[in-house]
Each structure stands twice: as C-alpha cells, then as structure tokens.
Amino acid sequence: MAKIELYDATLRDGMGGAGMTLTAQEKLRVVGKLDELGVGFIEAGFPASNPKELELFGMLAEQRLQHAQIVAFGMTRRRGVKAQKDVGLGVLADSFAPVCTIVGKSSVLHVQKVVRASNKENLAMIADSVAFLVGKGKRVLFDAEHFFDGFELDSAYALQTLRVAVESGAERVVLCDTNGGSLPGRVRDVVGAVREALPKAALGIHTHNDSGCAVANTLVAVEAGATQVQGTINGIGERTGNANLITIIADLQLKMGHHVLPAKRLARLTDAARFVDETLNRASDASQPYVGRHAFAHKAGMHASGVRADPATFEHVSPAVVGNSTDLLISELSGRAAITEKAAAAGIAVGDGADGNGFVARVLARVKQLEHEGFQFEGADASFELLMRREAGRYEPLFRLESWRVLVEQNAEGHLDTEATIKLWHDDRRYVRTAEGNGPVNALDNALREAISEFYPKLADVELVDYKVRLLETSHGTGAVTRVHIDSQDGQSTWGTTGVGENVVAASWQALVDALEYRVQPAGRGVAKAKPKAKAAKAARARR
Ligand SMILES: [Zn+2]
C-alpha cells in the first residue's frame, strides 16, 4: 500500500476562515504541535506578504523540527514577466524553506477570465515557474487550482497543465477542488482519469467543504491513487472550510489501513485538535468526529451499560487510539473513574468505601451545576483541582476577602488610568493595597500580589501567560455570561484556571485567585520547587 503524505495548510489556507487570526508566535506554537504529531509538510504561508509572515519565517528558520518540512507558498510568475524577474518567485527562492508550493491555473475559464492570458502563455507560466524554483534547489509542488471544474470544461487542457509542471520538475501535482463543490463519485472518476493519463506523476488532493464532502472527496481520491492529502486542523478555512486533516488522518489509518502515523502519535490527535482551537480562542466542536468532547459520549441507560459491558457495542473505534476518552462527566461510571484518578494525582485520597463514593458524588453534582452556569473545566485543571479540594476539606484559602474595587478613567484626550484597590485579611491582619495597571485585570493582579507576596513570597514566581475571554450564549435570556480562562506558569509547570460571571472583571477575579491559590496548595502540581525567578516574572508582568 502506498505511503500517504500528510500536508497541513492550517497556517495559510486555514487563516482564510472568518475570524481566524494568529500571531507569529502562536503560529510557531502550532508548527511545534503539528511537528510533534508527525505531519510531513507544514504550509507556513508566503514568506513576505506582510511583516507578520516575515517574522514567522525568520523564527521558523531557527526552529529545529523532527518530522515536518516547512513549505513556502506562492504563485506562478506573472503574465509577461520572466521567472527570474518575478518578485514573488524571487521571495520563494530566497526563503529558507526547502519546499515550495506554487499555485497555478488549470481551468480554461480562469486562464481567460482571471489571468487574461492565452492558454499557451499560462502553460509557459507554469513551466517557467516550476523550472526556476527547481533550478534554485527547491522541492516544488504544483497546486492545480480549480482542477476539477477545469477538467469538466476542457479535460485535455487541465491535464496539460499537470504535464508541463511534472516535465519542468515538480515532484508532485496537487488536484485542487478550489470551489469545493465536487461530489465523491466525480472526484474518484477524475483522479482515476489523471492517473491513467499521467501514470508516473505523484498526485496530491486538496479539497474544500462547500458540498459537505471535503473529507469524503479526499478519501476517494486516495482510493483512486492520490498519495498526498492536504487539509487543515479541524477543517478551518474560507467559507465552509477545508478538508479536516484530523478526520482524514483517523479515517486513513483506522478505517482504510494506511499507516500514516505511529500509534503513539495518533494518540495525540485529540490534543492537537484542541490545541489549535484553544490557540485560536475558538470553541471546539463537541461533535467533531474522533476528537470532539461528545465523540464518545454515552447517555445513561442502555448505551452506557452496553459500553460498560463491552465498548465495541456502541463505539466505532476505541477513543484512546486518537487520544480521546469516553465522555467523562455525563457518563456516571467513567466520571467516577476520572474523578478518582484526578483526585489521586492531586494527593487527595479517595477511599472505596461510603465516604469515597460520597466525595465523588458531591464533586459530580458540583461539576454538573457549574457546567450549567457556564463553567468548563477542560483546560482548567487547576480550578477543577481546587473544586475537589473544597469538597474533600483539603483546601487552604489564600486569604479572606473583604472587598475589591477597580476604577477605570478616561480623559477627553483618550488617556486611560486604571487603578485597583483590594482589602483582604490574612492571619488576623488586614491588608489594603492599591495598584495601577494597563487594564482592570492587570491592576487587580498587581494589587493582589502586592498584598499577598508579603506572606506568600513564592507567588512572585507565578506569571500569567495567557488570558482569554469568551462570551457564552445563554438560553434563558438573562443576558450574556462571560467565561474567562487564564494560563499561568512558574518556570516549571503551566496550569489553567477559569471563572464565569455576568461581569467580566468578576469572572477574571475568580480565575486570577484560583491561579494563585492553586500554587500554594499542599500537593498541587504547581507547587514543585521552582528556581527563584522573581525578577523575570516581575518584568513579564510589567509588559502585560
Ligand atoms: Zn484551498
């Protein structure tokens, strides 16, 4: 069976989706995650379309990757310009990226209406561009844009565009369903016809989901002979999105018998999918195949008892192979196991006896209630641990709050001042501290630390590294509810906390206090000894 190459387009095509944006730093983290997963090609974008891309390529050049090759993406040369003089091709040639994908026209409609070149000139544009980059030592992939629509209009011409790309040195030609309207039967026929016409060419497939068939079209293309699949994580992309690489990987490996990833890395699929959503500050699709939170959820009753007796009764694959799990909290049984496991990890002993069951039931009930209010503990393990500690009576509050207050003042010139005052008690002593900040949460954080660093000096190491806000839709018409997520670190470990409320500052306060309280609990994972980094942490806070 042919080896299938994985090609990720999340950072280029995926960014075409509405509201999708990542900083260069965030893109670098996604690259790291995709590399860890074992993706072979990562399309990072055009190396010079804006300062952000320039910065990204600068950082990528320094990055050591285990599995992935970075791909620079560009277009065939412009009409009437020599390849050597084409600015875009020059940028690709100068880039550090060892692989270049260039997109060109394969449909006569686009050649005539969009490029306004003759059919012959378009072929020369493809041939010159591929040959130029190959001559510069690049591995070149040719993306045949609108291939399936072009094949319909003039199959001989569409095939000719592939042929000149291959003859000019492209190592692979990628058939693109750019408008995403094709159906699987058609894709299978066309890929089969290409195979027959160009038996030696290595083929790739790049589909969009406009007819809801992007994944299916990719799979049938593989059956018909394509050996590279292109897609984006979670199917993000323009309009209705690209082919979902996550689903494709699982289908190829678990259903079609292709070995695309070693088992150990396939088990990171869920983590990779959720990481990308988290980085995009976007809610994960709970119903997403294989990796969604509900992908292996079973409601109480016959399904749950069936799964308990034998998972194969109601699960098409074992969730563990893709790193997912049977739903933790809706299903009573697995919920219990998960809580017992997490309690043990936090150093909370849960007996098998009546007391243990009572604890688990209380935690389950509390989680259900909080989830109803809008909490979500995925990624907020520290808040979940604190919840368990409160129920187990193993919780040490950091302080006793009297009150907090935040003032935000803007003058006529637009100058903003933010100031927070906090009043709290520790060991029968009252602390009143006021601090400024660049926003309400930052000011509260500064005031709180000024007070508590006197009695918990080690909290000076804690650094808030990420802060995210999500507005939740409420079904009961009480107005919007805000969920805040904070990631903190101390140089050794990272932990997530959450807060929910109608007021964004109050929700942030909960997450902030959890972040610091977690750090001082007796056996929390965050209390491992950390080297004193007070200065660095202070500097980082000042920048926030
Ligand atoms: Zn595309």
Distance 280 CA to ligand 1 centre (A): 19
The CATH class for the domain spanning 5-261 reads: alpha beta
What is the DSSP pairing of strand 41-45 with strand 69-75? parallel
Running DSSP on this structure, what letter comes out for residue 526?
G
Calpha distance 232→242 (Å, rounded) = 6
Distance 194 CA to ligand 1 centre (A): 20
Domain ranges of the chain: 5-261, 297-376
Q: What confidence tens digit (pLDDT) does each residue in 188-245 have?
A: 999 999 999 999 999 999 999 999 999 999 999 999 999 999 999 999 999 999 999 9
Q: Residue 240: what residue type?
A: T
Distance 231 CA to ligand 1 centre (A): 8
Residue 533 reports pLDDT greater than 50: no
Q: What confidence tens digit (pLDDT) does each residue in 292-318 have?
A: 877 887 654 455 556 666 777 778 999
Residue 122 reports pLDDT greater than 60: yes
Distance 242 CA to ligand 1 centre (A): 7
Closest by CA position to 523, among listed 344, 351, 377, 371: 344
User: CB-based burial of residue 351 (10 Å sphere; 0-12 exposed, 13-18 middle, 19+ buried)?
Assistant: exposed
Return the bridge partners of 91, or none. Answer: none
Distance 287 CA to ligand 1 centre (A): 24
pLDDT tier, 540 (very low <50, low <70, confident <90, very high otherwise): very low
Residue 528 has a pLDDT of: 30
Calpha distance 313→326 (Å, rounded) = 13
Residue 478 reports pLDDT greater than 70: no
Residue 63 has a pLDDT of: 93
Name the pTM for this structure.
0.69
User: Mean pLDDT for the chain?
Assistant: 88
SS3 524: coil
HSE of 5 in the Cβ direction (CA atoms, 13 Å)?
Answer: 23
Q: Report the greatest alpha carbon distance in the chain.
A: 87
Distance 285 CA to ligand 1 centre (A): 21
Distance 17 CA to ligand 1 centre (A): 11
> Are the C-beta atoms of 501 and 375 separated by less than 8 Å?
no
Q: Residue 324: what residue type?
A: N
Closest by CA position to 157, among listed 92, 104, 205: 104
> Are the C-beta atoms of 229 and 173 separated by less than 8 Å?
no
pLDDT tier, 95 (very low <50, low <70, confident <90, very high otherwise): very high
Distance 135 CA to ligand 1 centre (A): 26
Running DSSP on this structure, what letter comes out for residue 503?
S
Closest by CA position to 71, among listed 87, 51, 56: 56
> Are the C-beta atoms of 298 and 353 separated by less than 8 Å?
no
SS3 434: strand
Residue 334 reports pLDDT greater than 70: no
Distance 212 CA to ligand 1 centre (A): 15
Residue 438 reports pLDDT greater than 70: yes
Q: What confidence tens digit (pLDDT) does each residue in 34-57 have?
A: 999 999 999 999 998 788 888 999
Distance 235 CA to ligand 1 centre (A): 11
Distance 463 CA to ligand 1 centre (A): 39
- Cβ neighbours of residue 85 closer than 8 Å, sequence gap 6 or more: none
pLDDT tier, 393 (very low <50, low <70, confident <90, very high otherwise): confident
Return the bridge partners of 75, or none. Answer: 103
pLDDT tier, 351 (very low <50, low <70, confident <90, very high otherwise): low
Residue 535 reports pLDDT greater than 80: no
Distance 196 CA to ligand 1 centre (A): 25
Average pLDDT, integer, range 497-517: 95
Calpha distance 412→266 (Å, rounded) = 56
> Are the C-beta atoms of 488 and 381 separated by less than 8 Å?
no
SS3 480: coil
Distance 236 CA to ligand 1 centre (A): 11
Distance 71 CA to ligand 1 centre (A): 15
Calpha distance 73→188 (Å, rounded) = 27
Distance 117 CA to ligand 1 centre (A): 23
> Are the C-beta atoms of 295 and 264 separated by less than 8 Å?
no
Residue 308 has a pLDDT of: 64
Distance 475 CA to ligand 1 centre (A): 36
Distance 114 CA to ligand 1 centre (A): 17
Torsion, Cα of 314, 316, 322, 323 (10° steps): 0
What φ, ψ does residue 238 adopt, rounded to 5°?
-50, 150
Calpha distance 147→162 (Å, rounded) = 10
Write out the two tokens for 351: 């007996």
Instruction: Tell me the torsion sign for CA atoms 47, 48, 51, 54.
Output: positive
Q: Which residue has the higher pLDDT, 515 or 365?
A: 515
Residue 542 has a pLDDT of: 39
Residue for token digits 């034998």? 310
Of the given ranges (99-103, 124-128, 231-235, 271-275), which has the lowest mean pLDDT? Answer: 271-275
pLDDT tier, 527 (very low <50, low <70, confident <90, very high otherwise): very low
Calpha distance 307→296 (Å, rounded) = 10
Distance 178 CA to ligand 1 centre (A): 5
Q: What confidence tens digit (pLDDT) does each residue in 275-288 have?
A: 998 888 887 887 99
Write out the two tokens for 78: 């412009």
Residue 344 has a pLDDT of: 81
Distance 373 CA to ligand 1 centre (A): 39
Average pLDDT, integer, range 179-185: 97
Residue 332 has a pLDDT of: 45
User: CB-based burial of residue 82 (10 Å sphere; 0-12 exposed, 13-18 middle, 19+ buried)?
Assistant: exposed
| Residues near ion ligand 1 (Cβ under 5 Å) | 13
Calpha distance 101→500 (Å, rounded) = 45
Q: Supply the Cα-derived Rg of the chain in whole angstroms.
A: 27
Distance 206 CA to ligand 1 centre (A): 6
Residue 335 has a pLDDT of: 63
Residue 242 has a pLDDT of: 98
Distance 347 CA to ligand 1 centre (A): 49
Residue 181 reports pLDDT greater than 80: yes
Running DSSP on this structure, what letter comes out for residue 250?
H
HSE of 52 in the Cβ direction (CA atoms, 13 Å)?
Answer: 12
Distance 36 CA to ligand 1 centre (A): 24
Distance 13 CA to ligand 1 centre (A): 6
